[in-house]
Amino acid sequence: MAQMSSSGQAPPRETSPAPASGSLPPVPAAASGGRFSINLRQSGIYIAFALIIVLFSVVTDGELLKPQNISNIIVQNSYILILAIGMILIIIAGHIDLSVGSVVALTGAIAAVLMVNMHVAWPLAIIITLVSGALIGAWQGYWVAYFGIPAFIVTLGGLLIFRALTLTVLGNQGIGPFPDEVRTLANGFTSSYLGNIGLGPLGGADLLTLLVGLAAVASIIGTQWRTRQGRIGYRQQVDALPLFILKIVAAVAVVMAVIVQLARFKNLPWVLVLLAVLVLAYTLLTNRAVFGRHIYAIGGNLNAASLSGIKVKSVTFWIFVNMGVLAALAGVIFAGRLNQAGPTAGTSFELDAIAAAFIGGAAVQGGVGKVIGAITGGLIMAVINNGMSLIGAPSERVLLIKGLVLLAAVAFDVWTKRRAGAST
Amino acid sequence: MTDHILQMRGITKTFPGVKALQDVNLTVRKGEIHAICGENGAGKSTLMKVLSGVYPHGSYEGEIYFDGELSQFSDIRQSEKLGIVIIHQELALSPHLSIAENIFLGNERAKRGLIDWNRTNAEAMELLERVGLHENPVTRAMDLGVGKQQLVEIAKALSKRVRLLILDEPTAALNDEDSAHLLNLLRGLRDEGITSVIISHKLNEIRAIADSTTILRDGRTIETLDMKNDAVTEDRIISGMVGRDLDNRYPPHEPTIGEEVLRIEDWTVHSPSQRGRVVVSGANLTLRRGEIVGLAGLMGAGRTELAMSVFGRSYGTDISGRVYKNGQEIQLRTVGEAIQHGLAYATEDRKRYGLNLIEDIKRNISAAALGKLAKRGWVDDNEEFRVASDYRTEMNIKAPSVLSVTGKLSGGNQQKVVLSKWIFTDADVLILDEPTRGIDVGAKYEIYAIINKLADQGKAVLVISSELPELLGICDRIYALSAGRVTGEVSRADATPERLMQFMTKEKE
What are the C-alpha distances in Å from B305 to residues B263, B321, B434?
A: 17, 14, 13
Kindly determine whether residue B379 and residue A289, on different chains, have CB atoms separated by under 8 Å: yes
What residues of chain B lie within 8 A of the CB of A361, using their CB? none
Q: At what angle do helices A349-359 and A371-390 cross, to 10 degrees?
A: 120
pLDDT tens across B333-355, in order?
999 999 999 999 999 888 889 99
Compare all CA atoms of chain A with the CA of B341 and give the residue at the minimum distance.
Answer: A309
Relative to beta strand B18-29, strand B4-15 is antiparallel
**Using CB atoms, which residue from B409, B443, B449 is nearest to A22?**
B443
pLDDT band for B467, please (50, 70, 90 cuts): confident
Measure the CA–CA gap between A302 and A119, rounded to whole angstroms. 47
Q: Report how far residue B501's alpha carbon sits from residue B505's, in angstroms, rounded to the nearest whole number.
A: 6
CB-neighbour burial class of residue A235 (10 A; exposed 0-12, middle 13-18, buried 19+): exposed
Determine whether A242 is exposed, middle or buried from the number of CB atoms within 10 Å of its CB (0-12, 13-18, 19+).
exposed
What is the tens place of the pLDDT at every residue in A78-132?
Answer: 999 999 999 999 999 999 999 999 999 999 999 999 999 999 999 999 999 999 9
Give the tens place of pLDDT for each residue, B220-240.
898 898 888 777 777 788 778
Write the CA distances from A227 to A205, A230, A238, B197, integer angstroms: 33, 5, 10, 64
Predicted local distance difference test score (pLDDT) of residue A33:
37
Q: How far apart are the first and last CA of chain B?
A: 49
Query: Which DSSP symbol is given to B182?
Result: H
Could you confirm whether domain B4-242 is CATH 3.40.50.1820?
Answer: no
pLDDT, tens digit, 9 for 90 and up, residues B98-126: 999 999 988 888 888 888 899 999 999 99
Predicted confidence at residue A28, as pLDDT, reads 36
Whether residue A201 is preceded by a cis peptide bond, meaning omega within 30 degrees of 0, is: no
Between A37-51, A368-382, B427-441, the lowest mean confidence (pLDDT) is in A37-51
The residues, any chain, with a CB within 8 Å of residue A39's CB and separated by 6 or more, are: none
The mean per-residue pLDDT over the stretch A161-183 comes to 92
pLDDT of residue A41: 63
Residue of A nearest to B421 (CA): A308
pLDDT, mean of residues A318-327: 98
The chain B residue lying nearest A29, using CA atoms, is B400
Burial of A293: CB neighbours in 10 Å, binned 0-12, 13-18, 19+: buried
Measure the CA–CA gap between B204 and B210, rounded to whole angstroms: 10
Residues of chain B with CATH 3.40.50.300: 4-242, 247-342+427-509
Question: Residue B135: which of B143, B66, A235, A415 has the closest Cα?
Answer: B143
What Å distances lie between residue B324 and B132, B261, B291, CA to CA? Answer: 50, 8, 17
pLDDT above 50 for B494: yes
Q: ipTM of this complex > 0.90?
A: no
On the question of pLDDT at A36 being above 50, the answer is no
In this predicted structure, the answer to whether residue A275 has a pLDDT above a threshold of 80 is yes
A218, A249 Cβ separation under 8 angstroms: no
- Per the DSSP assignment, residues forming a β-bridge with B137 are none
Q: Which helix (H) or strand (E) holds B404?
A: none
Task: Name the band, by pLDDT with cuts 50, 70 and 90, for residue B201.
Answer: confident
- pLDDT above 80 for B13: yes
- Out of B377, B398, B408, the one facing A291 most closely (by C-beta) is B377
In whole angstroms, give the CA distance from residue B266 to residue A145: 33
How confident is the model at residue A338, as a pLDDT? 94
Most confident of A154-158, B113-117, B125-129: A154-158
| pLDDT single digits (tens) A173-220 | 899 899 999 998 888 888 777 777 777 777 778 888 888 899 999 999
Query: Which residue, among B359, B360, B440, B494, would best test binding to A if mutated, counting the most A CBs under 10 Å from its CB?
Result: B359
- On chain B, the residues whose CB falls within 8 A of the CB of A14 are none
- Report the mean per-residue pLDDT for chain B: 89
**Residues of B in Cβ contact (< 8 Å) with A15:** 247-248
Percent with pLDDT over 70 in chain A: 89
When the candidates are 3.40.50.300, 3.40.190.10, 3.40.630.30, 3.40.30.10, the CATH number that belongs to B247-342+427-509 is: 3.40.50.300
CA distance B483 to B467: 18
Interchain proximity A20–B446, CB inside 8 Å: yes
Number of helices (H) and strands (E), helices first, in chain B? 16, 24
What pLDDT was estimated at residue B440? 67
pLDDT-derived band at B1, boundaries 50, 70, 90: very low
Give the A:B interface size as CB pairs under 8 Å: 178
Q: How confident is the model at residue B18 (pLDDT cuts 50, 70, 90)?
A: low
Architecture of domain A48-188+271-422: Orthogonal Bundle (1.10)
